[in-house]
Amino acid sequence: MATIRIAAPDTASAGEVIELKALIQHPMETGYRSGPDGKRIERDIIEKFEVTYDGETVFEADLRPGIAANPIFTFYTRATTSGPIVFKWTDQDGESWSETHELTVE
Amino acid sequence: MKTLSRQTSFARRSFLQLGAAGLAATALPLRAAADAVDADAAIREIFGDKPLNEGRVTVKLPPIAENGNSVAITVAAESLMSPDDYVRRIAIISPRNPIAEVAVFKLSPHAGKAEVSTRIRMAGTQRIRAVAEMSDGTLWHGSASTVVTLAACLIG
């Protein structure tokens, strides 16, 4: 299980633009490096990062090996209604991890 | 004395030439890296063959990065982010990494602010480019340079 860290406000006023920060522990192995035995280390990357807010997709990212290990993203969204913000990462083999953050809009 | 210094400088020059040849030889197998042409091709592949306008996109990078394995980058695009005038996509492009395309972000008018930060790998000193596609289909371009002291290694 990958470690996930989310930084997001718990409450916001309607219409406020809030900052969301999401990090997942992942090697983002490029496939260009060699291990101690001289053999190439297989590529292993997260290819997709998606964020939904109250069921609507608000942010998406297509990732390539140029993204550093333990990918972190900071982005913004406008608070509208109270609801779950779901962060979901999917790797090249289709394995996925997700985390939900509840936002209360006053 | 004068002849001696001339001799040493000559010896040094031939040594430098040797060194340069050696460097060129070792660099050859690494020519899997992208170049400026690949970067342009990557932009065309993502956004189609549309003209790039200079401006409206700012790329923030440190002037010097000691470790190319993780360099903080912020890309911001000027936009109202209203339902009929917003940033649809932002791409980060490297002219020197093995793969020119680093990431493509899809935004919605819901974002409120067209700004994304992440950490990227940099295989050497280069000018990182960012392209933003607006909701009207126009493309805007910005870039920033970073000197990388220790490149994200291709070898190990």
CATH number, position A61: 2.60.40.10
**pLDDT of B4:** 46
- Angstrom distance (rounded) from CA B108 to CA A60: 9
Q: What's residue B35's pLDDT?
A: 76
Nearest to A77 among B74, B92, B110 (CB): B110
Range of the domain at A16: 4-105
Q: Do B92 and B31 meet the contact criterion of CB atoms below 8 Å apart?
A: no
Count: domains in chain A: 1
| pLDDT for the residue numbered B130 | 95
CB-defined contacts A:B, below 8 A: 99
Question: With 70 as the cut, is the pLDDT of residue B120 above it?
Answer: yes
- The pLDDT tens digits of the residues spanning A27-68 come to 999 988 888 888 888 999 999 999 999 999 999 999 999 999
Q: Who has greater pLDDT, B63 or B25?
A: B63
Question: A78–B121: do the CB atoms touch at under 8 Å?
Answer: no
Nearest CB neighbour to A64, from listed B103, B112, B115: B103
Rounded mean pLDDT, B35-63:
91
Give the whole-angstrom CA distance, residue B151 versus residue B122. Answer: 6
Task: Give me the amino acid identity at B17.
Answer: Q
Which candidate in A40, A63, A64 is best for mutational testing of the B interface (most B CBs within 10 A)? A64
Contact A22, A6 (CB under 8 A): yes
* Cα dist from A49 to A16, A19, A55, A97, B104, whole Å: 23, 16, 15, 10, 10
Interface of A with B (CB under 8 A): 17, 30, 32-35, 53, 56-69, 71-78, 80
Dihedral, B124, B107, A8, A70 alpha carbons, nearest 10 = -30
User: How much is the ipTM here?
Assistant: 0.93
pLDDT tens digits, residue range B97-114?
889 999 999 999 999 999
Residue B37 has pLDDT above 60, yes or no: yes
Query: A62, exposed or middle or buried, with CB in 10 Å at 0-12, 13-18, 19+?
Result: middle
Q: Which of A31-40, B6-15, B110-119 has the lowest mean pLDDT?
A: B6-15
**Minimal C-alpha gap between B18 and chain A (Å):** 28
Tokens, residue A46: 């997260």
> In the structure, what pLDDT confidence band is assigned to residue B78 with cuts at 50, 70 and 90?
very high
